[in-house]
Amino acid sequence: MKIENINIPLMISGNLIENINLNDNYYRMRIKAPQIARKAKPGQFVMLSMWKNKDPFLKRPFSFYGIESDSGTFDILYKEIGKGTQIMAKSKAGDLVELIGPLGNGFKIPENTNNIAVVARGIGIAALMPLILESKKRGIAIYAFLSAQTGNLLLCSNEINSISEKVFYTTDDGSKGAKGMVTNFLQNVLKEEVIDVVYVCGSKRLTKHIRNLQRKYNFLAFVSLEEHMACGIGACKGCVHKTNDGYKRVCKEGPIFPVEEVIFDD
């Protein structure tokens, strides 16, 4: 049996093809790793390291932002926030990348889905992008609800605009779209359209709002959760999140969970 056909995560080295600074602290990285690119699905992620002498010690998790199985590459959209991502930001084409993946369960698109809503805050759009492209391929209408601190941090907005039925923006400073909660727009759409599934990624607050709307309008909803991860493969239990079915490992049972299952304590 070919190694690509075995459904276990692969631990391999990849090659950095390009690393582009998009905006402020946001970057897009393209990695060549054909075995992983051929198996990756929307909503899954890789654990990655490209630092010497195990400093920092642990790999870091990143969602697949683009998957090109034909060329054997995948993209990561990332925000520079700490030691690991600072090293990533400085890396150059040709650098080696240590990878484990693909990991996690990925998004489900139920049969007979006609309309979906994607709700993203900031870098949360990274996890949703392959789902948006897959939905487009299947002829599903996409309503996108994007929010960020300020207008130039509304990432991928042109691309999403070109393939979505409608796109709604909110920014904290009002520099693009409206100020306030992007879910207010979603509520307006829900009053007029049947949205079969809502997918959300980006903040706890956003997910709680989706849960409230779900109670009122009764749609399927899935969230891509983030927790600090040590192993990424279900072994250390360091990434557990409270659900109404006990604690679940975000890296193994997730990162995609039905919104109604997830419990936030605060």
Ligand X SMILES: Cc1cc2nc3c(=O)[nH]c(=O)nc-3n(C[C@H](O)[C@H](O)[C@H](O)COP(=O)(O)OP(=O)(O)OC[C@H]3O[C@@H](n4cnc5c(N)ncnc54)[C@H](O)[C@@H]3O)c2cc1C
Chain residues that interact with ligand X, rule: CB under 6 A: 45, 56, 60-63, 76-79, 81-85, 123, 126-127, 226-229, 255
Q: Which of 168, 166, 172, 128 is nearest to 150 (CA)?
A: 172
Question: What H or E segment, with its residue span, contains residue 27?
Answer: strand 26-32
Beta strands in 122-239 (DSSP E): 141-148, 166-171, 197-201, 220-224
Q: Which does 236 bind (CB under 5 to 8 A by kind): ligand FES, ligand X, none?
A: ligand FES
Query: Site size for ligand FES, by CB under 6 A?
Result: 12
Contact criterion met (CB below 8 Å) for 118 and 50: no
- The answer to the question of whether 156 is labelled as a binding residue is no
| Rounded Cα distance, 37 and 88, in Å | 19
Query: CB-wise, 76 or 259, nearer to ligand X?
Result: 76
- The answer to the question of whether 264 is labelled as a binding residue is no
Query: Contact between 230 and ligand FES (CB under 6 A)?
Result: yes
Q: Which does 226 bind (CB under 5 to 8 A by kind): ligand X, ligand FES, none?
A: ligand X
Contact criterion met (CB below 8 Å) for 196 and 115: yes
What is the sign of the dihedral through the CA atoms of 222, 228, 234 and 236? negative
Residue whose pair of structure tokens reads 């993209």 in the numeric block: 75
Closest contact distance (angstroms) between CB of 63 and ligand FES is 15
- The answer to the question of whether 113 is labelled as a binding residue is no
**Binding residue (CB under 6 A) for ligand FES from 4, 238, 243, 261:** 238
Contact criterion met (CB below 8 Å) for 254 and 222: no
Closest contact distance (angstroms) between CB of 46 and ligand FES is 13
- The answer, yes or no, to whether the previous bond of 255 is cis (omega within 30 of 0) is yes
**Binding residue (CB under 6 A) for ligand FES from 154, 223, 251, 259:** 251
**Binding residue (CB under 6 A) for ligand FES from 31, 131, 231, 256:** 231
| Positions at the binding site for [2Fe-2S] cluster | 231, 236, 239, 251
Question: Where along the sequence are the contacts to ligand FES (CB under 6 A)?
Answer: 229-232, 234-239, 249, 251
